[in-house]
Amino acid sequence: MDTRNPSAPSRAQARTAGKNHPHAGGLVHENARHTERFTVIGNHLAQHPELSLVARGLALYIQSLPSGASVDIKTLASRFPEGRDRIAAALRDLEAHGYLRRTRERLPGGRIVTRTVSCNRPGHRGRTGEDQAPGPPKKRQPAPRKKVLPVVPQPAYPAPALIQRAIELLATLRRHDPRLLLSATDTEHLAPGVAAWLERDLTPTDVRDALTA
């Protein structure tokens, strides 16, 4: 009598199924992308070989908090069931591995408080006060339009001494009219035109009067 189960897969079929599903029986991730209220955690913390699950979970919780939140032992012990001793030990471990920096500071009124800095990447100093979840992207500001400078006459013989006299004259215009505070770019552009006037035997006073009229 044949007792074989006709519905059971053959060995060849089982090997083929194993190839098509190499992770069968193991972990399978079902991930959905977060768009708000999320925290980015590095695998160096999530899979840290020396930190306990309590320490890693506590670090994750602290990194998810906004700046200014209380993370002292009393506050954390009232939030989690692990108790003060285990939380204190976890904080010390995180501090030893660089995920926390704690300093004692005296306030102007004389009260001493503990300042805690959470480091999401030990050894990489970033700006303090940054929350993990990114906000909406900033609108890109349009690039400022390039200033169009007027066309100026050019001297027939642009001697360095003549150009320097023109630059010095332009630099004194603001004494006569505060609106004529010229930038270095403006001065460099206008100097040849002033030099062309000086080249025509106009006096500096004549040029200044023409520019400030």
Question: Would you give the end-to-end CA distance of the chain in angstroms?
Answer: 121
pLDDT at 108: 84
At 73, list the tokens. 């032992």
Enter the pTM of the model.
0.48
What is the model's pLDDT at position 56?
A: 92
Instruction: Say which residues have a Cβ less than 8 Å from residue 122's Cβ, sequence separation at least 6.
Output: 97, 98, 99
Give the domain ranges of the chain.
38-128, 160-212
The pLDDT value given to residue 67? 87
pLDDT for residue 35: 84
Separation CA 168–CA 171 (nearest Å): 5
Q: How far apart are CA 100 and CA 92, in angstroms?
A: 9
Q: Is CATH 1.10.10 what the domain over 38-128 is classified as, yes or no?
A: yes
- Rounded CA gap, 122 and 98, in Å? 5
List all residues 6 or more positions away from 65 whose beta carbon is below 8 Å from its beta carbon.
71, 118
* DSSP-derived secondary structure for 131-161: -SS--SPPPPPPPPPPPPPPP----SS--HH
Tokens, residue 115: 């300042």
pLDDT, residue 7, reads 52
Q: What average pLDDT values come out for the chain (213 residues) when binned by 10 residues?
A: 52 50 73 86 88 91 89 89 90 89 80 82 68 54 65 84 87 81 80 87 84 78
